[in-house]
Amino acid sequence: MKNVCLLLLLAMAAATTHAQSASFNYPDAFYFVKEINVSKQTERPFHLEITVKENPADSLSKARIYAIQVRKGKEDIIGRTMTYAKIASNGEWNTYSIDGITDKAATRIWLYAAVNGNGDYYFDNISYSIADHTGTLLEADLSNQSFEDHKLLNGYFVSPTDGKNIRVQKSPVASEGKQAVLVSVTGQKPAGMRTIVKN
């Protein structure tokens, strides 16, 4: 996963340097990734959503949600497919959504949910829909999509944490169901500061 992050950062720097520097001021403190198999569903419209409640510690901190498609190889990212989510506010909770078309070479979609900065961030309810042969979007089941499993992030790739400034735990504050993922981050410094920031 460490190599995936390096490849992804290089792809993002090449493709969206201006947007990155304008939009995101911290390195990602923590992320988790849902892998979705699309090997038999190429060149079809899809829709992804995740619900997020954000309590940032400052005006620069925020959640970062994006998706990228991957070929058959272990970390064979299709760079042009990287898509940032659109945000719709639903009161305390925001719905982050991504619409796209599966690339003809894609076998998987990686949905990234990240904390970019400091504060408390609640993540809940991932949903995924893909078009059938008539073009109608149909919701597909994902394992642990509402984070109700006993092992909170079962079925996700999870970034390593140092444990000092990042806490990941179950929260009874949820948009639906009994629990959500709560990520609490302190001590992150903006990437532009003259300090070494470990990600």
- Domain extent for 151: 2-185
194 located within any domain: no
199 located within any domain: no
193 located within any domain: no
148 located within any domain: yes
Q: Which run of H or E residues covers position 112?
A: strand 108-116
195 located within any domain: no
In this structure, are residues 111 and 50 in contact, taking their beta carbons and an 8 Å threshold?
yes
133 located within any domain: yes
Distance CA 153, CA 19 (A): 30
pLDDT at residue number 31: 96
pLDDT at residue number 37: 97
pTM of the predicted structure, to 2 decimals: 0.84
| Exposure string for 35-65, b = 16+ CB within 10 A, e = fewer | ebebeebeebebebbbbbbbebeeeebbbbb
pLDDT along the chain (199 residues), means of 10: 44 33 74 96 97 95 95 91 91 95 97 96 98 95 96 96 88 96 94 47
Distance CA 3, CA 1 (A): 5
What is the total count of domains within the chain?
Answer: 1
What CATH number does residue 61 fall under? 2.60.120
| 90-125 confidence digits (pLDDT tens) | 889 999 999 999 999 999 999 999 999 999 999 999
3-state helix, strand, coil in the chain (%, to 5): 10, 45, 45
Q: Which residues neighbour 144 within 8 Å (Cβ) at sequence distance 6 or greater?
A: 153, 154, 155, 156
Distance CA 120, CA 115 (A): 9
Distance CA 89, CA 169 (A): 24
